[in-house]
Amino acid sequence: MKSISILGSTGSIGTQTLEIIRDNPDKYSVRALTCAKNEKLLAEQIKEFRPVFAVIKSEESAGRLAEAFPETTVFSGREGLIRAAEDQGADIVVNSVVGMAGLVPTYHALKAKRTIALANKETLVAGGALIMKTAAENGVSILPVDSEHSAVFQSLQGFDRKQVRRLILTASGGPFRGKKREELKDVKAAQALKHPNWDMGAKVTIDSSTLMNKGFEVAEARWLFDMPEDKIDVVVHPESIIHSMVEYEDRAVMAQLGTPDMKIPISYALGYPQRIPNTMDPLDLTKVGRLTFEAPDMETFRCLALARQALRAGGTYCTALNAANEVMVGAFLRGSAGFLDIPEVLEKVLDAHKSGDPQDLDSILEADRQARASAEKLLSEL
C-alpha cells in the first residue's frame, strides 16, 4: 500500500491520478490533496478520498473546508502547500501544479526526501540545475509523468545509460501543424485549445500549439536524464502513438508505444517498478493504420528554437523564458496578446536577461520575477 499526496489535485493530471487511485483501492491511499482555488471540486475529492491533509490557497476556503470535513486537517496558502510537500506520511508526492508555482514545493519535497512523480515540467525548466542537485544530495528519485519522459524512462529500463547515443522526443505538432506564420497571425485561444490527441490543461495545451511545450520537454529531458541539449532530438509524429525513443550506440532504438492517454504514464510513475493493470482499450495498430514522422518547423514555431537557445545559454535563461512564457500564455488566453506576439516578446526578454546562479533558489526566483516584469512591460507596449 502506497500513500500518495497530490499537489494540484483538481487539474487534469490530478484528477486522472485520483481515477487510478479510485480503481486501485488495495494499492493506494490518499495522504494530501492541494489545489489553488477549485474549492467545489476539492470538497468532492476530500469527501471521496478522505485525505489526512488538504490545502487550498485562500484562507476563507480553507475555513469552510475545515468545517465541512473535521477529519481532514485543512491548511491554506503557500505554507500549506510546502507543508503538504514535506509531509513524511507520503510515499510519493505527485506534483501536478501548473507553472513555476510547482518549483518551490518540489524543492521542499526533495529536501524532505520524498519520492516525486513529476508532472510539473516548469520545475525543471526553471530550476533544473538546483532540483537535480537537491535530488542527488538527498538520494531521492524523480519519476517522470510527462508522457515523453515516461517513454524515455521506460525505454531506458534494463540498459546501460552510458551507451545512450541520443533521445528522440516525439511531438504531435499541435493544432497548427502545417500552418505558416502568416496563417497564424489571427488565431484565437479557442482554436489553440483544440489539441488533436491529448486531453490536457489550458496552459500546456497552448504551449503545445506554439511548440514551447516541446522546447520545455527538451529542457526537462536534459535534466532528468543528464543528456546534453544537442543529443535530444525532436520529431513530429502526428498520431501520438510512439511517445518517445532512446537510441543506443549500436543504433538500436527503443520506443514506448500506446494510446495517447495520460493515465499510462501516471500509473507507471505510481507503480514503478511494477505496472498497474487497467481496463483501457488496448492499442489497435491496424486501426491506427500508419505512423508518420516529419521535422518540426522551427521557423513558424520559434518557441522551440528559443527554448533550445535558452538551454544552451545556461544560467537562468530558461527560468526567464519560462516566466515570460507564463505571462504571454496568460495574455493570449485572455485575448490581450496575439499568437505571434508570444515568441516575439520571449525573444526580447531573453535578449535583455541578466543571468544568475541556476543552483540557487533565490537567484532563480529573482530571475523569474524580473523576466515576468519585463514581459508585462513589453505586453503593455504591444
Residue ranges binding Mg ion (CB under 5 A) = 146-148
* Summary count for the chain: helices (H), strands (E): 17, 11
Residues in Cβ contact with 300 at an 8 Å cutoff, skipping those fewer than 6 apart: 176, 179, 180, 181, 184
Q: Please, what is the minimum distance in Å from the beta carbon of residue 173 to Mg ion? A: 13
Residue number, 86 or 148, with CB nearest to Mg ion: 148
3-class DSSP state for residue 157? coil
Residue number, 146 or 261, with CB nearest to Mg ion: 146
Q: Is the peptide bond before 273 cis (omega within 30 degrees of 0)?
A: yes
The CA-based angle 368-108-47, given to 5 degrees, is 105
CA distances to 173, 238, 242 from 287, in Å: 21, 15, 15
Residue number, 115 or 147, with CB nearest to Mg ion: 147
Q: Please, what is the minimum distance in Å from the beta carbon of residue 162 to Mg ion? A: 26
Residue number, 32 or 227, with CB nearest to Mg ion: 227
Q: Please, what is the minimum distance in Å from the beta carbon of residue 244 to Mg ion? A: 9
Residue nearest Mg ion, Cβ-based: 146
Q: Please, what is the minimum distance in Å from the beta carbon of residue 135 to Mg ion? A: 20
Instruction: Report yes or no: 124 and 221 within 8 Å, Cβ to Cβ.
Output: no
3-class DSSP state for residue 201? coil
Q: Please, what is the minimum distance in Å from the beta carbon of residue 142 to Mg ion? A: 15
Residue number, 46 or 321, with CB nearest to Mg ion: 321
Per-residue cell: 337: 496578446
Instruction: Report yes or no: 372 and 101 within 8 Å, Cβ to Cβ.
Output: no
Q: Please, what is the minimum distance in Å from the beta carbon of residue 354 to Mg ion? A: 31
Strand 253-257 to strand 242-248: parallel, antiparallel, or no bridges (unpaired)? antiparallel
Residues in Cβ contact with 64 at an 8 Å cutoff, skipping those fewer than 6 apart: 39
Q: DSSP assignment, residue 294?
A: B
Residue number, 13 or 30, with CB nearest to Mg ion: 13
Place of cell 506576439: 341
Residue number, 9 or 147, with CB nearest to Mg ion: 147
317, 333, 309: which is closest to 126 by C-alpha? 317
Q: Please, what is the minimum distance in Å from the beta carbon of residue 168 to Mg ion? A: 14
DSSP string, 204-221: HHHHHHHTHHHHHHHHHH
Residue number, 122 or 146, with CB nearest to Mg ion: 146
Q: Please, what is the minimum distance in Å from the beta carbon of residue 217 to Mg ion? A: 6
